[in-house]
Amino acid sequence: MCGRFSLDVELGTLQEAFQFEFSGELQPRYNIAPSQNVLAITADGGRRTGNLFRWGLVPPWSKDLKIGYKMINARSETAAEKPSFKRPFQSKRCLIPASGYFEWKREGKEKRPFRFIMKDEEPFVLAGLYEKWEQEEEAVYTCTILTTSPNSLQGAIHDRMPVILNEEGMEAWLDKESRMDELKSLCRPFPAREMRMYEVSQKVNSAKNETAEILSPLNSQ
């Protein structure tokens, strides 16, 4: 599962890394939580565009947005067959940039939070799906993050991890002509040797805490 992540990178740096257009402003985010807006990159005719989508996919047939809280993640192994994810897996795929994500290790009654980042501390992208939900005059775009089995680093903390795409994978994920078997092959554990993790303060447990301090290693002061 991926239930929190951060994106504290300047917009220009993200645009240079992932080659997309975006007309709005982007503030540093240290503790992004479900139901909040996230940056998502889509492609149309080879042109990549940045959008703000609500995190938690809502199928078009849903009566309200509440179902999105249960759909912040989609298991990559079954998403192509599930009613809620089948259509977006086929034609509505997106990239969700991140600078790191959080996961919790359960020890008895306690849950210790850890942050996962790239070894070079560069931003990366998660594989996502999106949908358009409409009711009367209201239209909301929502998204979900795909998960897969863990690599050796993640496996010490949790039994799932988000699907992280390399540069070649990004291109194929956004390509509307990609075959289903090719897309499924992208949903694999990211190499542990290219990542690192560290424990952080339990301040991250509350979505109300949104300061850079959250990203600091525990007891680093």
Residue 94 falls in the annotated catalytic set: no
Q: Give the active site residue among 103, 131, 143, 187.
A: 103
Cα separation, 57 vs 53, in Å, equals 9
Place of tokens 């998660």: 126
Cα separation, 184 vs 181, in Å, equals 5
Q: Give the active site residue among 2, 94, 143, 187.
A: 2
Cα separation, 22 vs 39, in Å, equals 10
Place of tokens 């007309």: 23
Amino acid, single-letter form, for residue 82: K
Residue 107 falls in the annotated catalytic set: no
Q: Give the catalytic positions in this structure.
A: 2, 103
